[in-house]
Amino acid sequence: MLTRIDHIGIACENLDATVEFYRATYGFEVFHTEVNEEQGVREAMLKINDTSDGGASYLQLLEPTRADSAVGKWLAKNGEGVHHIAFGTADVDGDSQAIREKGVRVLYDAPRTGSMGSRITFLHPKDCHGVLTELVTAAPHEGTAGPASSSPSTTEH
């Protein structure tokens, strides 16, 4: 069962400048940063608030590290802005299978590793009214639901 909005992914041209905007304008601080070589992004997770299920909600800022990454291609086509929405779940495997059985295309055959060791998968935006949707289960060592990865390895956004 999906329990909350885990994060909203925002594609940006310059991660440092975008982080500074969110810090200076809204007071959001960086909770976590990493580079995901497989997905070709550098990311910063900005914690917005804690949630009643023990997790948190975040903004995930994504800067492509290469033009041929999914985020790089999306950014070239669409410019900066909201890239995807991610919902937290205790069971990414079960929920993605249940959603697949309802006719929604799940982009990964099996969930992959996301930020901070989370498990993630994506739902095809054409099946979700134009919204690239991510499902996230936090890593067990986190103890709470937490932020996830960046973007799928597909160019069909």
Q: Which long-range contacts (CB under 8 A, 24 or more apart) does 43-46 make?
A: 43/15, 43/115, 43/150, 44/15, 44/18, 44/19, 45/7, 45/115, 45/147, 46/19, 46/22
Alpha-carbon span 153 to 114, nearest angstrom? 12
Closest alpha carbon to 40 in 11, 15, 61, 70: 70
100, two tokens: 């697949």
Alpha-carbon span 7 to 57, nearest angstrom? 5
Distances (CA, A) of 152 to 16, 20, 87: 23, 26, 15
Residues recognised as catalytic:
7, 43, 60, 84, 134
